[in-house]
Chains A and B, each alone.
Chain A
Amino acid sequence: MTIAYIIACIVGSFFFLSVTGMLAMWVDRKVTARLQFRVGPPWYQNFADFVKLSGKEMLIPAKANIFVFAFAPVIAVLAATVAGTVILLVMRTGFSYPGDIILIVYLLTVPSLAVILGGSASGNVLAAVGISREIKLLLGYELPFVCALIVPALKSGSTTSLLEIIRYQQANGAVIGSLSGIIGFVIALFALQGKIGFVPFDLAEAEGEIASGAFVEYSGILLGLFKLTKAILLIVGPLFLVALYFGGISLNSPAGIVAGILKYLVILVLIILIKNTNPRLRIDQALRFFWGWLTLLGLAAILLALIGR
């Protein structure tokens, strides 16, 4: 693997992930609208939003640290894209090595860290409230998310290679078919909700109370990049769960691709339904939920996986 090949992969998956991510955001907005008996936006809505934001004026607050403020969205997009590239490469070419699910977990925390960096560099009080919530939320959902990762790793013969996990499931049936798999999937779903920043856990960018939180000072293309990060995470997160719990996507036959898209859409619609049927939690409620019930459930799932259930 040469460096040119890796860069080509990252650029290619960046375009793929942005286009599909914006379509996934549209699915989110459309399903939300239909659930509220509204019509909802047209399919090109998120593309129009992004083009519009890239044409707007880019304001940088006088108190801000310009370097960190401007680079935080770029870091967020890059990290989300690289995480997606790793997963897509595993599914497309079978390029994998022990420990790459740990790499993906690290990469998926970087967008949250970039939000924290950018928000704190903007020097706004509301952004400070937003990032303090984001930090607590990050500490909250990582623990159950890691518990939920250990379950498929244990089920597929104690491996940390994504390809091994997918191969094991294609040979022996998906992890979701077992009791520990179901529990682990539910935990991962809620942790993902926090990672993407969807409604029960969107307190870091609560529009109503703290005016979009960490994003309050962002405008123009920088805001567009943060929106793009969210769109990419909406693809990468469910795709990761498809690989871990539903046996991945086989890209070699049309039937496999259709089945893969259906698996992805099931997880996406589940996330949207959770988003639309829950109110926003306070930060102490969210932390109690993640560190209390969800972590206990996660430990129970790991024990069940250890005894082979």
Chain B
Amino acid sequence: MNLKMKALKKSLWVYHLSGGSCNNCDIEILDCLTPRYDIERFGMVLVGSPRHADVLLCTGIVNKKCVERIKEVYDQTAKPCVVVAIGACACSGGIFRDGYQMAGPLNKIIPVDIYIPGCPPKPEAMLAGIVKLLEKLK
């Protein structure tokens, strides 16, 4: 079990899940993959299917249309997996907390392990969040 957790920490595959975001956080997530930040040096890669994922990066308030989809994707993810709420909307609802579409925040729908606030959070903030995540995985 210990070896598996060590391997998991060295190779987190992330899946990008948008729950009705304004796309700003999504663009900042993609910034992490660019040469300036290059999260592949920590073994993280963006994968196309939740079956392959270890980390779900969720952005946006969860709107009413998205609730079923987000639950479905969470069930489809192979466990053990970690859920990260990225941005003010996913953490708390942000400026949309009183909106008629609001069904979240994310932790009402699925269990969340890490919150990274910011509107949008900088890539440095996401990397700091990932470091805390790695400490948590011990």
Contact = CB atoms under 8 A, between A and B. Distances in A.
Interface core residue of B3, B7, B46 (most chain A CB under 10 Å): B7
Interface string B58-95: 00000000000000000010111000000000000000
Given A36-B35, A211-B48, A216-B49, A57 B78 contact: yes
A38 interface: yes
Interface residues of B, number: 25
A282 to B, nearest CB: 18
A33 B40 contact: yes
Interface size class of A (residues with CB under 8 A): 20 to 34
Contacts, number: 87
A29 interface: yes
Interface stretch (A40-48, A136-144, A245-253, A286-294): A40-48
Nearest to A220: B78
Contact of A48 (B7, B48, B80): B7
B111 interface: no
Interface of A: 29, 33, 36-42, 44-45, 47-49, 51-52, 54-59, 207-208, 210-212, 215-220, 223
Given A29-B40, A215-B49, 18 more contacts: A33-B38, A38-B38, A39-B41, A40-B40, A40-B41, A42-B41, A48-B43, A49-B7, A49-B11, A52-B10, A55-B1, A56-B54, A56-B78, A59-B78, A208-B48, A211-B48, A216-B51, A219-B51
